[in-house]
């Protein structure tokens, strides 16, 4: 009986906590949680460089921009794995072989991205990510210049901070 009562109390606390977080998130904009120290690449950057940056910076998404900084695509860690080998287990070996063939970021980047602006509500950004089945949404200014990125990790961090 004690375990049931204790679990029930934990569930009540969790529901209250999520209700409070929901009230907070409803009033926040993308700018409040987006990563602003944006690492970008050009379409002609090597796939090896993209992979190395992702490993060193512990990130999974890199926006691809043109010379003016306008967002033209996105490359992810999953994109690199899919395009160079079939499993994570053999990632190092497969990457060396494929990258020696001089693949570029532009060869595998995703285009036609859904984007948001700094003043987009977090709830709208979250809904877009769910609807599109993506793990991040690039943030652009009115000219289409990449100014940030919002990832699933950013949403987890805001929940953890408000708990």
Residues 6+ away with beta carbon under 8 Å from 141:
117, 118, 147
- All structural domains of the chain: 2-161 (3.10.580.10)
Cβ atoms of residues 44 and 104 within 8 Å: yes
Query: pLDDT tens digit string along 116-147?
Result: 999 999 989 999 999 999 999 999 999 999 99
The conformation of residue 60, written as its DSSP 8-state character, comes to S
Query: pLDDT tens digit string along 24-56?
Result: 666 789 999 999 999 999 999 988 889 889 999
Query: pLDDT tens digit string along 114-123?
Result: 999 999 999 8
Structure tokens at 23: 């009230």
């Amino acid at each position: 009986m004690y375990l049931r009562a204790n679990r029930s109390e934990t569930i009540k606390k969790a529901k209250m906590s999520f209700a409070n977080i929901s009230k907070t998130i409803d009033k926040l904009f993308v700018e409040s949680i987006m990563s602003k120290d944006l690492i970008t690449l050009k379409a002609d950057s090597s796939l090896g460089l993209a992979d190395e940056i992702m490993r060193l910076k512990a990130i999974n998404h890199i926006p691809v921009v043109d010379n003016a900084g306008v967002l033209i695509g996105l490359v992810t860690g999953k994109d690199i794995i899919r395009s160079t080998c079939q499993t994570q287990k053999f990632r190092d070996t497969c990457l060396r072989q494929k990258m020696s063939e001089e693949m570029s970021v532009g060869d595998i980047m995703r285009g036609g991205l859904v984007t948001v602006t700094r003043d987009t509500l977090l709830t709208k950004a979250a809904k877009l990510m769910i609807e599109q089945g993506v793990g991040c949404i690039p943030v652009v200014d009115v000219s289409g210049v990449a100014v940030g990125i919002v990832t699933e990790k950013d949403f987890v961090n805001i929940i953890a901070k408000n708990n």
